[in-house]
Chain A
Amino acid sequence: QKEVEQNSGPLSVPEGAIASLNCTYSDRGSQSFFWYRQYSGKSPELIMSIYSNGDKEDGRFTAQLNKASQYVSLLIRDSQPSDSATYLCASEPRSGYALNFGKGTSLLVTP
């Protein structure tokens, strides 16, 4: 049973558009959710965390959480070619000691 599901993509958006990345999770007890960005050949880096239902904004990034629907999303406004990367969604499990990671969605922003 996969805990965190993401479309693998690639998701292609033109420069300046809004990129929408989605994630669903199966553990209803999960409390915290994270979005990591991973450039090719590099390690994942945390870009957003969200703990409560609703939206959380940080610069061009907005994370959205809907615990009733078990759904997390990441919006990237004014997408730039430098945003081209794989985005990993992760959830903190109700029990256990490690985050559950999705396989990631590949985003390509075209000039």
Chain B
Amino acid sequence: NAGVTQTPKFRILKIGQSMTLQCTQDMNHNYMYWYRQDPGMGLKLIYYSVGAGITDKGEVPNGYNVSRSTTEDFPLRLELAAPSQTSVYFCASTYPPGQGAYEQYFGPGTRLTVT
């Protein structure tokens, strides 16, 4: 199992550009999440999905969009990048509560800089 994989590892964007952060998991997890982590801060939930075709906003969704067409993939789209979106982005996945250990597995992260 590769677990949770994310691409790219690093990216520099200019203000106003757009990009998609890719996330794939091979553990057949229903639940998937996108977090951002700013230096010295905790994890902030951007969006989550409880299954293919179902997504919902987290704590800080503005400026982002997601889709979930398959169980495995959960891409995060940044439209019109702004310096405030400079951060490290983590994707995570887990089984639903009651269907196994409710432990979130994290991808390696994408370090994004917007200048």
Residues of B within 8 A of A (CB): 31, 33, 40-43, 45, 48, 50, 56, 58, 90, 97, 101-109
Contacts and interface: CB of A to CB of B under 8 A. Distances in A.
B108 A99 contact: no
Nearest to A99: B104
B102 A101 contact: no
A44 interface: yes
A104 B35 CA distance: 15
A102 B43 CA distance: 8
A49 interface: yes
A67 B82 CA distance: 42
B106 A43 contact: yes
Contacts of B31: 97
Main secondary structure of the interface of B (DSSP, over half): loop
Given A43-B90, A98-B58, A49 B41 contact: no
Given A43-B90, A44-B106, 14 more contacts: A34-B104, A44-B90, A45-B106, A46-B103, A46-B105, A49-B103, A90-B104, A92-B97, A92-B102, A97-B31, A97-B56, A99-B104, A101-B42, A103-B42
Contacts of A88: 42-43
Interface residues on A, range: 10 to 19
B102 A103 contact: no
Contacts of A34: 103-104
A32 interface: yes
Contacts of A103: 41-42
Interface in A55-107: 88, 90, 92, 97-99, 101-104
B100 to A, nearest CB: 12
Interface string A7-47: 01000000000000000000000001010000000111110
